[in-house]
Amino acid sequence: MEVTVKQFVKEFKQQFQSMYAYSYEEGSNEQLYNALGLLVKNYISSYWKETREKYIKNSVKQVYYFSMEFLPGRQLRSNAYNLGLLDVVKEGLSELELSFDQLAEAEADPALGNGGLGRLASCFMDSLASLGMAGNGNGIRYQYGLFRQKFVDGYQVELPENWLRYRNVWETRNDKSTCMVRFGGNVWLEENHQGHLVPHYENTLNVLAVPYDTPMVGYRNDTVNNLRLWSAEIPVEEEANYHTIEETEPIKEITQVLYPDDSNYEGRLLRLKQEYFMVSAGVQSIIRHFRKYNVPRKNIPDKVAIHINDTHPALVVPELMRILIDEEHLSWEQAWEITFKTCSYTNHTILREALEKWPIDMMKELLPRIYMIIEEINNRFVENTLPLYGERITWQTAILQNGVVNMAHLAVIGSHSVNGVAKLHTDILMNDVLKDFFELYPERFNNKTNGITQRRWVHLANPELTKLIDEKIGENWKLTPSELKVFKGFEKDKDTLNKLTDVKLKNKKRLADYIKEVKGITVDPNALFDVQIKRLHAYKRQHLNLLHILHRYLEIKADPSADYVPRVFIFGAKAAPSYHYAKQIIKVINSLADLVNNDPDVGDKLKIVFFENYGVSLAEKIIPAADISEQISLASMEASGTSNMKLMANGALTLATLDGANIEIKDFVGEENLFVFGLSSKEVYELKANQSYQARELYESNPKLKNVLDALTSGTIPNLQDEGYALFDSLVNFNDEYFVLKDFASYVEAQNKVDDLYKDQNEWARKSLLNIASSAPFSADYTIQRYADDIWKVRSCVEEDEGVHLVDE
Ligand code: 6GP
C-alpha cells in the first residue's frame, strides 16, 4: 500500500493525540505502541472490508480453521511488513526520534496456545491470506493465555498471563454477530405440525458468544482475512437473573483460561464446555454467513470447508448435524451428506493420553442434544460396518466405547479427509494408531507435512540473512519460495560463506547480549550455540540432552585440557503444570546450569542457558542465532516438529533422530548435511513388541553412561531435592520408557562429530547455506496449497501477478 513518510508522520501524531490528548513526546512505549497499532489497523481496515465483500460478491468457498489454540505472536511488525509499510513506519518514527523496535517490544505476545499445534494454526492463517485464499480462523479469546513461566530456585512456577491488560489494538468486538450457546438442562423431541421432530429445551444455561475479529494480513496482495475468537458473556436479556458475582462464574470461566496442556486431558468438564462453546458459536456463524450466498443448503460443501484441528473441535460434526436437522429441518441423510463433505480432520499426535475421550455421562449432562446426535451417528455407523467388517473392527472403531465418547473416532467418521502432519506420522496413523479406520476408509487418509511462514521466521526474524539472500539471488524467493534453491549455487563461493558466517555471528552477539541482560550469564558469541526449544515432554527427550551435557562436564572435570569446542546449550520449554516429571527435568537442568556456569575449570567450554517463558517472541530472538537444532525425540513419537523447520531455514544444522519431519529435512538437504543418530522408528516398534529392552543392562555395561547416571544422585549437581533420583529411577529402575539410554551412545558420538565439523568454519558455513537453500519445501505456503488442492478444494482469489505465487516446489 502507498503511504508516504510525511503522511505517516502526520497521521501518527494525530492518532496519538486523539487517543491520549497530549503530544506523542510525552507518551510511554505502551501508549506509543497502541497509537501505532491502531494507525496500522486503520490502514488495514479498507482491505479487510474489501476482501470480505469480494468473497461474498463472488460466492467464494471459505475455509474455516477450527482450533482451540492460536499462537500468532506479536502482530505489529508482521502486519506492517505484509502491507508493505514497514520501512515507511520505521523511517517515520525515526524522524520523530522514536525507535520502531522499542515500540514493537511493548506489544503483548498472545499465548493462546500450548505449542506446535497452535503455532501451526497461525502460520496457516498467514499463508492462507498470503495466497489470497478465503481462510478464516475460529477459536477462543482466552482472557488469560498459557501461564507465564518463572524459575524460582530452578523450579518452574506458573503465573497468570494477563495479555489483555493494556488492550488489544488488533481486535474488533463485533456485537452484530453474537450467537447463543446452550448447555445442560432437559431436551425432548416433539413432532411439530409439519411432522418434523423438533427439540424442546428447558432449564438450559444460555451463554452469549461474542466474537472478536482480528485481521490476518496477506503478503503484499491486498487480502485481509479474519481470525474470529469467541468470548463468553451473560446474555443481556438474562442479566436480571444473576444476583451475585459467584452466580456469573459458570459463564465467565468458559473463556477465562487456556487449558495448559498439550498431551493430557484430565478432570475436565470446563474443557469440554470450552470446546462446545467455540464449536457451536463457530458453526452457527458459518451457517448465518452462508445464507448471504443465496445458494441451496445442499451446496454448503461447495461453499464451506470446516477444518478440525486435532480432536478438540470434533463436536463440529454433531453440531453441524444439529443445526441442519433441528434448525434447517433437513433429513438425517441430507444433513449427514453435507456434514461429512464439509468437515476434514488433522491428527497432531500419537500420544495415547492426548487422544480425547469424554465420559458419556458428562457429555449427556452437559450437551444432551449433542449426545443424542452422537448416539445416532454411532448407531448408524455400527449398523453399516458390522455386516461388512465384523465385530472386532466395528467395536474397535465405534464412537461410543466402554462409557466414553472417543473423539478421534467421531472426527474420522464425520470427515471426508484425515491427515497426519509428516510422512512418517501419517504412516503411523495408517498402520498403527488409526489402522482399523484405514481398513474401512483408505481413501480418506492423506499426508500433509507441516510448514512454517518464512515471512515471520526468516524475513522478519533474520533481516541480515534475508538481505544476504536478496543480494545473492534477488528477491523473487520471497514470493516464490522454491527459488531459494538458487542459493545452493553459492555453496563454494567464499564471499557468500564469509558473509553468512558474519550474519550468524552478529545474530549470536545480539543473543549473547540478551542472555547477559535477562540471565546475567556471559557467553562467548564464538562458541557453538546449541538450541532445543519446544514443550517439555519426556518423549522430546530434553533429558537426553541433559545427560550429554553432564557427560561433557564430567569429561572436562576429569581432563580440563580436553579438546571440546566451546558450546552454549540453550533451552526454552514450558512444562504442563501437572506434569511432575517434566518439571523435575527443568529443575535438574537449571541446577546443572548453576554448577557448570560457575565452575572455573569449565570456563567458556560449556554454558547452559535455560530461558524463562518460552514463546513466539523469544523464539524469534533465539532461532536466527542457532548453530545446532536439537530434534532428538524418540523416533515415532514426534508427529512432525516445526522448530526443526524454522531453525533449518535460519541456517542451523539439525541434530536429529529419524522422527517426524526430520526425515523429510534429511531427504531434502542430504544426509551429509545434518547429523542423524539413534533408533529408527521401525527399531523402536520392534523393541517395544519383543519387550527385550533392559535399560539396567546398559547402565551396568557402559561405564561412561553409568558415570553420568550416578552423577544424578551422587550430590555432584547442587541444590537438588529428589529430582536427580526421580530421573535416575525412571531411566534405570523403571526401564526408560523413551529409550534415552539406548540412544545415548550414538547421541554422544553425533555430538562429537558436531564439534569436529565446527572446527572447520568454512565447511560449516557451506552446510549451513545448503540447509537454508533446501528449506523452501517447508514453507507453509506449499503446505496450504496442498490442503487447498486436496482437501478444501479452494483457490486463490488474487490475480497471478499479485502476492505469493507457487510455481513449483
Ligand atoms: C504438535 C506435535 O507434537 C508436533 O510434532 C507438530 O509439529 C505440531 O503439533 C503441529 O502439527 N501437537 C500438539 O501441539 C498437540 O497439542 C494434540 O497435539
Distance (Å) from CA 405 to ligand 1 centroid: 22
**Which residue ranges does the chain devote to CATH 3.40.50.2000?**
61-69+121-141+156-450, 472-680+741-778
List the grid coordinates of 667.
Answer: 531427504
Q: Which of 264, 271, 251, 269 is nearest to 361 (CA)?
A: 269
Asked if 373 and 362 touch (Cβ cutoff 8 Å), the reply is: no
Average pLDDT over all residues of the chain: 96
Rounded to an integer, the average pLDDT of 646-663 is 98
Residue 505 is predicted with a pLDDT of: 98
Q: Give the residue, out of 66, 146, 258, 348, with the most ligand 1 atoms within 8 A of its beta carbon, to mutate for a pocket test.
A: 348
User: 721 CA distance to ligand 1 centroid (A)?
Assistant: 32
Determine the distance separating the centroid of ligand 1 and the alpha carbon of 759, expressed in angstroms.
35
Q: For 511-541, how does the pLDDT look when each residue is reduced to its tens digit (9 = 90+)?
A: 999 999 999 999 999 999 999 999 999 999 9
pLDDT band at 226 (very low <50, low <70, confident <90, very high): very high
Q: In the prediction, which pLDDT does 265 show?
A: 52
Q: Which atom of ligand 1 is nearest to the CA of 262?
A: 16
Which residue, 79, 129, 70, is CA-closest to 780? 129
Give the number of the atom of ligand 1 that is nearest the alpha carbon of residue 421: 11
Nearest CA to ligand 1 atom 13: 117
Average pLDDT score over residue span 612-640: 98
Tell me: the pLDDT tens digits for 385-406? 999 999 999 999 999 999 999 9
At residue 106 the predicted structure's pLDDT band, cuts being 50, 70 and 90, is very high
Distance in Å, CA 117 to ligand 1 centroid: 5
- In ligand 1, which atom is closest to the CA atom of 639? 5
8 Å CB contact between 567 and 607: yes
pLDDT at residue 44 tops 50: yes
- Residue bearing the CA closest to ligand 1, atom 4: 641
Residue 262 has what pLDDT? 59
| pLDDT the model gives residue 197 | 87
**Alpha helices (runs of H) in 269-367, residue ranges in sequence order:** 269-291, 300-303, 316-322, 332-342, 360-366
Render pLDDT for 421-457 as a digit per residue (tens, 0 to 9).
Answer: 999 999 999 999 999 999 999 999 999 999 999 999 9
**In the structure grid, which three cell numbers stand for residue 224, read together?**
485481509
Supply 696's cell numbers.
539396567
Residue 6 bridge partners (DSSP): none
661 contacts: CB under 8 Å, gap ≥ 6: 421, 422, 449, 450, 640, 641, 642, 644, 645, 778
Among protein residues, the one whose CA lies closest to atom 8 of ligand 1: 116
Asked if ipTM goes beyond 0.95, one says yes
Give the pLDDT of residue 352.
Answer: 87
Q: Whose CA is nearest to atom 16 of ligand 1?
A: 262
pLDDT of residue 330 exceeding 60: yes
Nearest atom in ligand 1 to the alpha carbon of residue 425 is 5
Q: How far is the CA of 351 from the centre of ligand 1 (A)?
A: 10
Nearest CA to ligand 1 atom 7: 641
Instruction: Look at residue 489 and tell me whether its pLDDT is greater than 80.
Output: yes
Q: How many angstroms does the Cα of residue 381 sit away from the middle of ligand 1?
A: 29
Pocket test for ligand 1, best of 640, 645, 664 (most atoms within 8 A of CB): 640
Q: Give the side-chain half-sphere CA count within 13 A for 201.
A: 15
Nearest to 301 by CA among 359, 271, 332, 341: 341
Give 572's strand partners. Answer: 533, 611
Atom of ligand 1 nearest to the CA of 354: 17
Residues with CB under 6 A from ligand 1: 114-117, 120, 262, 310, 348-349, 354, 421, 450, 638-642, 660
Q: Give 539 Cα–ligand 1 centroid separation in angstroms.
A: 12
CA distance 204 to 214: 31
* Active site residue ranges: 348, 534-535, 540, 642, 646
- Say how far residue 178 (Cα) sits from the centre of its chain: 28
For position 339, what pLDDT does the model report? 98
15-24, 191-200, 627-636, 684-693: least confident range = 191-200
Which secondary structure element, helix H or strand E, spans residue 743, and what is its range? helix 740-759
Mean pLDDT of 252-260: 91
Please list, in sequence order, all residues whose beta carbon lies within 8 angstroms of the beta carbon of residue 230, skipping any fewer than 6 positions away. 138, 139, 140, 141, 209, 210, 211, 212, 255, 277, 278, 281, 282
Give the pLDDT band of residue 267 (cuts 50, 70, 90): very low
Residue 807 pLDDT class (50, 70, 90 cuts): low
pLDDT at 426 (0 to 100): 98
CA 352 to chain centre: 19
CATH fold for domain 61-69+121-141+156-450 = Rossmann fold (3.40.50)
Alpha-helical (H) ranges within 643-739 are: 643-649, 662-669, 681-690, 695-701, 703-711, 723-728
| Residue 263 binned pLDDT confidence (cut-offs 50, 70, 90) | low
Question: 17-26, 352-361, 582-591: which has the minimum mean pLDDT?
Answer: 352-361
Atom of ligand 1 nearest to the CA of 115: 14
Does position 568 have pLDDT exceeding 90, yes or no?
yes
pLDDT of residue 803: 72
Query: Contact at 8 Å (CB) between 115 and 262?
Result: yes
CATH topology of domain 472-680+741-778: Rossmann fold (3.40.50)
Best probe residue, ligand 1, of 69, 123, 262, 426 (max atoms within 8 Å of C-beta): 262
Q: Helix 86-95 to helix 76-83 angle, to the nearest 10 degrees?
A: 110
Q: Which of 132, 114, 131, 109 is nearest to 67 (CA)?
A: 114
What pLDDT is attached to residue 488? Answer: 98
Res. 691 pLDDT band, cuts 50 70 90:
very high
- Per-residue confidence (pLDDT) for residue 809, from 0 to 100: 53
pLDDT band at 264 (very low <50, low <70, confident <90, very high): low
Range 649-658 burial, b when 16+ CB lie within 10 A, else e: bbbbbbbbbb
Indicate if the pLDDT at residue 800 is higher than 80. no
